[in-house]
Amino acid sequence: MFRLAKPKDLLTLILALCLSVNDHGRLCAGPYHETGFEGRIMAFLELSMETEGIMGLSVGFAGPDGYSWAAGLGYADHGQDVRASQYTVYPVASLTKMFTNIAVMQLMGQGLLNLDKPVSAYLPEFKIMSRFDDQPPMLVRHLLGHYAGLPRDLYKGIMAKDPSVRPGLFEHLAGQYVAYPPGIKYLYSNLGYELLGKLIENLSGESFEDYIQERVLVPLGMAHSGFRDKSSDPGSLSGAYIRWDETAYREMPHNLRASGGLYSNTRDMVELLDWILATGHREPRVGDALLQMMWRDQKTAESLDIGLQSGWSWIMEEYPEPMEGFYAYQIGSTMHYNAVMAVAPAHHMGVVLLCNTGGVLDALEEMARLIILAAIQQERGQSFPADEPPPEVPFESPPQEALDGITGLYLLQNELFRVSSLNGELVFTTQDQTMQAMYHADGWFSISEGFRFKALHWDDTRVLVIDRNGSVFPAGIDITDRYILPAELFAKLGSYRLTGVDPEIEEVIYQEARVLLDEGIMKLELVLSPHQQRVFGYEYAGFNLIPAGPGEAIIGGFGMYKGETVFFDVDDEKRYIRFAGLRFLKTGH
């Protein structure tokens, strides 16, 4: 479904103001350089940066017939008065996954790789535990589409001066559980792409970094791009900043590779955009059929993701008429750097934004979207149509089977919803309020305009599905008569401090963990380090826990760490929590 800016409606207004500089508010068709397109977009970005508190940003755009441009705004280094440019280098974070995708396409084209073979056929060292009976094999295509059910990340040593502090990938995964069976749920996982990097090494006989450098970056003409300690000019690396703060920070380097290790600039990234939009016309040649696979929706009939359209790390949205095709984007972020790449393939348009300021990823993604919309609008010489409200579905009295099919106690990531039947009507209760739900003829219930919900069944469990202003997603599971607190509950409650991390060598992400009991539900609070709190604007991330046997609990709901396991260990009479490679020692009640 198409959407305009949810988090940043102000950016839409800013773009409208910038685009009205010429032509009396009307965009006209014709070559971009004749109509001031570049200048208008630069004005839009400049105002957006001021609105969002962004220190420095670089932009690259690729359009039809080989048209492209790249530029920079703001500062790469404010203290040294160095302006950002098209040649300023940034870590592109998860945009690295696009280059991993290209390597996969090349190996497929050579007949060395089959997406429908199990991962273990190419990586016999790979092992992971599962709680699911008769789990289907994890296929290579599951890794590419983030449908493998793997945990999200290994945080130990993810950002460190010394790469040796990071545990081995296979060693870490052997002690973890899958969160879901493959194919059931979209779970964004850097670990999945790190496995793809290992797979590329096994099949090519080269290191991942060397393979990408020689077989992808060089053919693309990306001469100023590379991996850690291999970027063309260390002096061109942008400084790191926080919103509305002129202080330059030093971000420790990432120890990701295939999932997020590349450094680049927008001049080089335009070469990638041009290749994507005109594949088959230049090296590295993979063929259009292979390229189109990365934009194929990865959902299956069993998937719980109703409203999501996802490809190989791409999120896709359909354009409304009169626009054509779909819009696809990838995002990436470190602590201080953010990156967005977006394309409208049917219009042969793409944009990349690289930024040196933490906490602005949502705004950056919206800027990219609006630039593409403005370019298409200019191409067509007509305004983009406003979203039309969906047709109203009439209310009716809920049948008893509809009431019986949804009543329950639903555990979300950090909330608890109770849905109950009272005198033939449905009542929706949160921690703060109780509301009557209205029943629609299409089987959905609603409690307000723009908020509808229903239940579906998965693995003999009821799942609460929410439709929020057209965005449809699973939110929580029914735990009625299923939530059993562990016998050692009170021994697990309390505060835990991070251990085994030297802040002089590696970045502290979560400095503390807290386990508490709230409304009969175990909760985990992961407290961010003070600097992380400044970057992201919140103190901790909270998660409901589902006990899963001795010494283990599962993160509930469908949030960031959905379905992942938290381990409770006892070692020399000391109590610990293990999560995502981090270990916390209990210090108090």
Q: Consecutive sets of 10 residues in the chain, 589 residues long: mean pLDDT of each?
A: 42 64 34 68 94 97 91 96 96 97 96 97 97 92 97 96 94 97 95 98 97 96 84 71 92 93 96 87 85 92 91 89 85 96 94 96 94 86 66 87 95 94 92 91 91 91 92 94 92 97 95 95 96 93 94 93 95 94 92
d(CA 571, CA 133): 31
Burial of 243 (0-12, 13-18, 19+ CB in 10 A): middle
Q: Which helix (H) or strand (E) holds 463?
A: strand 461-468
Fold of the domain built from segment(s) 489-588: Lipocalin (2.40.128)
115 exposed, middle or buried (CB, 10 Å; 0-12, 13-18, 19+)?
A: middle
**Closest to 399 measured CA to CA, from 418, 372, 426, 379:** 426
Q: Which of 449, 447, 450 shows the shortest CA–CA distance to 438?
A: 447
Residue 580: what pLDDT? 97
Same fold, 90-380 and 489-588: no
Which pair of structure tokens corresponds to residue 251? 């971000």
CATH number of this structure's domain 90-380: 3.40.710.10
The pLDDT value recorded for residue 233 is 53
Peptide bond preceding 503: is omega within 30 degrees of 0, i.e. cis? no
CB 185 within 8 A of CB 558: yes
pTM over 0.85: yes
Residue 551, phi then psi, degrees to nearest 5: 75, 15
Phi first, then psi, for residue 346 (nearest 5°) are: -65, -25
Token pair 């505060």 is found at: 495
CA geometry: angle 272, 275, 276, nearest 5 deg: 90
Please give the order of strands across the beta sheet that includes 82-83.
82-83, 68-77, 56-62, 349-355, 338-344, 326-333, 315-318
| Domain edges within the chain | 90-380, 400-478, 489-588
The Cα-based distances of 453 to 420, 426, 441, 496, 555 in angstroms read 13, 12, 13, 37, 22
Residue 281 phi, psi dihedral angles, 5° rounding: -95, -5
Q: Is 243 helix (H, G, I), strand (E, B) or coil?
A: coil
